Amino acid sequence: MMTMEYNPYLPRPASVNAVREESLETKTLRLSLINWRATFLPGQFVQLLLPGVGEAPFCITSSPSDPKHLELTIMRRGLVTTAAHYMRPGDAVGIRGPFGRPFPVESFKGKDLVIVATGIGIAALRSLILYTIENRNDFGDVTLLYGARFVEDLVYREELKSWAEKIKVIVTLSKPSEKWKGLKGRVTDHLDTIKLGENSLAVICGSPAVMVSVAKTLIEKGLEQKDVYLSMERHMKCGIGKCARCMIPGGFMVCKDGPVFSAGEINLEDVGE
């Protein structure tokens, strides 16, 4: 083996430290990095390699203050995600990354944040939520509006309670059971309850159609396009902009130019489904 300059295609070793069940379909893997540290910011993603199965991109859901560990929240959907649900503490995995452009958290400081997440989209924003809670004094009002279909789909249920002590948390269900006592309806129905000021910023992640409609509503309500941030999803393969699998309209690579885009950079009409 020859030592060469940095090769972004080679995975680095990690092992599963703990597995947390978040919902029926979702688990959070806590990974310990073996002899390396990950420097990252909220919004970036890694490629998780499961030996013998394959590789898939996941947003980092843990706080950047712990560079020795990474947490990935994984919903059971395809080959790699299903295999990930069989992982047990001690299992070896590989990590490539972190890749991508993070949220510009430095420029978020001193602002009021509106964080809108639907479904598993909250996984991509948990890192940012933890970051704002850890640096609570740097931010103004922080509101999390989280929508899901069923109560079983809600992830981070325990954490939502502890987050609610530090930031405003609004949870809404679009198809609640009769027992549900909280808010009902889609996230777009509850955007009116959030006060938007000149100092406000919005961060959105969810299914493509929801992201676009939320972004449009917020812009109609007076937010500037550059102050609305979306975390886009594509199936990134290489992570460094060489395979062009994650290209979105406008010719941007989600892995390199994103996954975080401001609504001013991309054409909202085109990026939906």
**Contact positions vs other proteins (CB under 8 A):** 1-2, 4-11, 13, 15, 34, 49-56, 75, 77-78, 81, 83, 86-88, 90-94, 207-208, 233-235, 237-238, 240-245, 247, 249-251, 273
Q: Tally the C-alpha atoms within 13 A of residue 20's C-alpha that lie toward its C-beta.
A: 13
- Length of the chain counted residue by residue: 273
User: Which residue reads 């400081």 in tokens?
Assistant: 109
Structure-token pair, residue 134: 């850890």
At closest approach, how far in Å is the CB of 65 from other proteins? 24
We find the least distance from the C-beta atom of residue 70 to other proteins, in angstroms, to be: 15
Closer CB to other proteins, residue 75 or residue 113? Answer: 75
Given a contact cutoff of 8 angstroms between Cβ atoms, the answer to whether 92 and 43 are in contact is no
CB of 81 to other proteins, least distance (A): 7
- Closest distance between other proteins and the C-beta of residue 237, in Å? 5
d(CA 29, CA 71) in angstroms, rounded, equals: 6
Nearer to other proteins, 161 or 245 (CB): 245
Residues 110 and 136: beta-carbon distance below 8 Å: no
- Tell me how far the alpha carbon of residue 177 is from its chain's centroid: 27
Nearer to other proteins, 191 or 246 (CB): 246
Token pair of 128, please?
């940012």
Which residue in the block uniquely carries the two structure tokens 């279909």? 149
- For other proteins, give the closer residue by CB, 173 or 236: 236
Least distance in Å: CB of 220 to other proteins?
A: 23
Would you say 92 and 179 are in contact if contact means Cβ atoms under 8 Å apart?
no
Q: Which is nearer to other proteins, 164 or 243 (CB)?
A: 243
